[in-house]
Structure 1
């Protein structure tokens, strides 16, 4: 097909980053937790709101994946911005410190707004950049990681919003900003014309193979029955859970460890805030781009194995790092870098195994693992934290990451014969029919 004049595809990247800068607000939750603790919240309370937000994010994303074709990516993004911004703004207007208000408005409504919009830049980006799926997915989700740094610092040591204006006004300001920026970014969220290809790009010969036919035959819930889905899902649960637990505790635990090591409370708070808002957040954003680009070179499977294995070792070692300022910064950087890789590698792994065209529909099912990890990791951390045993939480999550690396080793490309051997005969027959049917593309 001859390429017609279209929008410059790099505008899609600009819009994606703008959107994700706001959707990454969920990672800024830790900046609110010290003030909420002063208002009478327990450590468990702070982690419950965070966990509910992550769970709603993941569950609603499945619904959004189904709507992206009928509603279109631009409309879905506008709805995302209004829901996310509305949740935070209402949280501010209703007082900003009530547990049930924040659980509903930040956890449920805000998390749902993130879930509505998150899949859009990924699905749109892969259509515009079939030649650089790993790199573009990393760029598309980089803002999600970088956003946390800006929102944390704006509320804390740079903007002093919480100290000068209080939680209520900070939530209200953030809600307005989220709505405006996400809607602006959504203007660039459109799919390329049917059949469009980048200039000079020729789809790989493998796209016409039986394996690609098999991938194209599975959409949405169909992928859940495959062993590949189970391995990818569990690995994502373990890797995301470890990172999310670290995010939820990146302010609280180092403050305790640093204070025990002789640092003053104010100094410990500043160091822990810098570890989260600068080192973790910057590495989180850079890791999304770097792991995505590396996976285009080494392959998605090898990249996930390397990422989860190194993450496991870093998380296990983190309790020994948290009591020293410089070593804490190193630990936060490594954990953030590897955590960011999840969001570049698992979408592209999903596309490689089940087909890139349907990633907007398929990836939300894989992303449910993020919701499971988002509940298990932070709540485990909060529960053991209330029992004064943070190290056990880090050790448990680190060991599960190492298990995830082993699981990924056994994950191979999807094909109909494997389904037959695994007992999924109805799916295998459907794939076989798809291979035998004439094609018009």
Structure 2
């Protein structure tokens, strides 16, 4: 392994104009103090700069601020099922039409991740600009949903504009955390990702009890301004670290003295190098991840969309129906943080397999408890469904930089996350068709089988280049 001191702004690998033309210039101290070191695999680490040198504040702020923004946009997806009845009645839509609006939103929310990532990495779109644009489009999404004259207008306004806006915010927040915590990203990414679920809990109860055809426009408009205000303020403080940045207090070439960091790096070693999107795609791992997240996200979206309607059809009262979704959202969010923390200790690939199996068990369990009309059991499996239905997101968000590096993570994760744009069609719109044709028994049985398929696929995931790197080290 080698260590190569490099200083000065024109030195190889140092801060260049093309990378930082879109961010405030670093301090003179930061520019002169960093150096680059290379490990035996050829991976470059930029060390010597602390988080305060770059940000002017501790890096934990780049966990809290994205978390707050994720809480704000969670109302888009996780509270929509609770609003479905009122939206259908107010706009005179069928249930299938209402859920197709959500499917269009999911399509654009996931689809914008890759192109936005490319723009960010090229310096065209900074993290702050992404948050600003996302905030305004999110507001337009809710205003469109409240005043839409027909389904097509709702699909364009809420689905397209709201989907792009919330997708910009989501991808920016998730990728931000992995860049600032390359040595122990699992728990931090899970914590931020969790806000996207439990932040919707107050709105689930609002849409279940205080949302009707007499006030739906006012409520949706106010929700839109709430999302705008929170995400806009949080986004004003966003900033990415330099390429190849590594925390100044963690030696990337030697075991860490911090046992938590040492275990996390041992179970989830850094990528062998920084992969471009094309290189990552050619490894064959990205397509495998894509199919796996397609299966998991489709099942998760199905549960989010149909758990409340299924509970009502089984004869459970509105309190149990809303509580089941509230429980699902809370556990969905907190489970992301817990699983992210566990993945730092158990390894992310193994943890992902456990999550997929739990997701399958939850689908069969919700169906079983519903048909038995057993409320406590129904809530218990809703708990498990919420836990597993969100936990895979931070695992993939951490696996991608683990496997392919942080420099192109916005694009690489965008490729993997784009699977959700297809899964939204299966989980939402096509899920409604399956329920209409086969009933809830057929739909939940299919969801459980798809989850088991995802578990099998997760066993095939391997970090590209690791066997070769270990051979060199040996």
Q: Among residues 456, 459, 462, which one is paired with 1:409 in the alignment?
A: 459
Q: Structure 2-normalised TM-score?
A: 0.79
Q: Is residue 90 from structure 1 mapped to residue 144 from structure 2 by the alignment?
A: yes
- Contact between 2:360 and 2:448, CA under 8 Å: does it hold in 1? yes
Cα drift, residue 13 of structure 1: 1.6
**Structure-2 residue corresponding to 1:355:** 405
- Contact between 1:235 and 1:401, CA under 8 Å: does it hold in 2? no
Q: Is residue 238 from structure 1 mapped to residue 286 from structure 2 by the alignment?
A: no
Alpha-carbon deviations, 1:63-114, whole Å to 9, x = none? 111122312111111111111112212333446xx32222221111111111
Q: Among residues 418, 423, 433, which one is paired with 1:373 in the alignment?
A: 423
Using the alignment, how far apart are the partners of 2:86 and 2:213 within structure 1? Answer: 13
Flag the structure with higher helix content: 1
5+ residue gaps, structure 1, are: 419-434, 436-441
Query: What value does the CA root-mean-square deviation take over the aligned residues?
Result: 2.4
Compared CA separation, residues 213 and 146, structure 1 to 2 (3 A) = closer
Compared CA separation, residues 306 and 52, structure 1 to 2 (3 A) = same
Compared CA separation, residues 213 and 235, structure 1 to 2 (3 A) = closer
Using the alignment, how far apart are the partners of 1:164 and 1:17 within structure 2? Answer: 32
Using the alignment, how far apart are the partners of 1:244 and 1:407 within structure 2? Answer: 19
Compared CA separation, residues 398 and 187, structure 1 to 2 (3 A) = same
Q: Is residue 8 from structure 1 mapped to residue 65 from structure 2 by the alignment?
A: no
Using the alignment, how far apart are the partners of 1:408 and 1:172 within structure 2? Answer: 41
Compared CA separation, residues 93 and 403, structure 1 to 2 (3 A) = closer
Compared CA separation, residues 195 and 99, structure 1 to 2 (3 A) = closer
**Structure-2 residue corresponding to 1:31:** 82
Q: Which moved more, 1:40-49 or 1:233-242?
A: 40-49
Alpha-carbon deviations, 1:373-398, whole Å to 9, x = none? 11112233201222361121111121
Cα drift, residue 288 of structure 1: 0.9
Structure-to-structure mapping, 1:101-120, within 5 angstroms: 101-120=153-172
Aligned residues: 402
Using the alignment, how far apart are the partners of 1:46 and 1:94 within structure 2? Answer: 12
Using the alignment, how far apart are the partners of 2:272 and 2:64 within structure 1? Answer: 34
The secondary structure found in structure 2 opposite 1:338 is helix
Cα drift, residue 42 of structure 1: 2.1
Using the alignment, how far apart are the partners of 1:298 and 1:242 within structure 2? Answer: 25
- Contact between 1:14 and 1:185, CA under 8 Å: does it hold in 2? no
- Contact between 2:178 and 2:401, CA under 8 Å: does it hold in 1? no
Q: Structure 1-normalised TM-score?
A: 0.85
Structure-to-structure mapping, 1:129-208, within 5 angstroms: 129-157=181-209, 160=210, 162-163=211-212, 166-193=215-242, 197-203=246-252
Q: Is residue 292 from structure 1 mapped to residue 340 from structure 2 by the alignment?
A: yes
5+ residue gaps, structure 2, are: 1-33, 35-47, 256-264
**Structure-1 residue corresponding to 2:318:** 269
Using the alignment, how far apart are the partners of 2:228 and 2:251 within structure 1? Answer: 39
**Structure-1 residue corresponding to 2:362:** 314
Alpha-carbon deviations, 1:26-78, whole Å to 9, x = none? 22111211113334322211221111111111111111111223121111111
Cα drift, residue 163 of structure 1: 3.4
The secondary structure found in structure 2 opposite 1:387 is helix
Using the alignment, how far apart are the partners of 1:353 and 1:282 within structure 2? Answer: 30
Q: Which moved more, 1:83-92 or 1:129-138?
A: 83-92
- Contact between 1:287 and 1:339, CA under 8 Å: does it hold in 2? no
Using the alignment, how far apart are the partners of 2:271 and 2:153 within structure 1? Answer: 49
Q: Which moved more, 1:175-184 or 1:118-127?
A: 118-127
Compared CA separation, residues 194 and 50, structure 1 to 2 (3 A) = closer
Using the alignment, how far apart are the partners of 1:304 and 1:42 within structure 2? Answer: 37
Using the alignment, how far apart are the partners of 1:94 and 1:377 within structure 2? Answer: 24
**Structure-2 residue corresponding to 1:223:** 280
The secondary structure found in structure 2 opposite 1:7 is coil
- Contact between 1:316 and 1:399, CA under 8 Å: does it hold in 2? no
Using the alignment, how far apart are the partners of 2:206 and 2:311 within structure 1? Answer: 21
Using the alignment, how far apart are the partners of 1:166 and 1:176 within structure 2? Answer: 16
Using the alignment, how far apart are the partners of 1:204 and 1:123 within structure 2? Answer: 24
- Contact between 1:315 and 1:335, CA under 8 Å: does it hold in 2? yes
Using the alignment, how far apart are the partners of 1:3 and 1:394 within structure 2? Answer: 51
- Contact between 2:114 and 2:410, CA under 8 Å: does it hold in 1? no
Cα drift, residue 300 of structure 1: 0.8
- Contact between 1:241 and 1:376, CA under 8 Å: does it hold in 2? yes
The secondary structure found in structure 2 opposite 1:76 is helix
**Structure-2 residue corresponding to 1:432:** none
Alpha-carbon deviations, 1:177-228, whole Å to 9, x = none? 1111110110221123566543531225699xxx977642x32244333321
Compared CA separation, residues 414 and 193, structure 1 to 2 (3 A) = closer
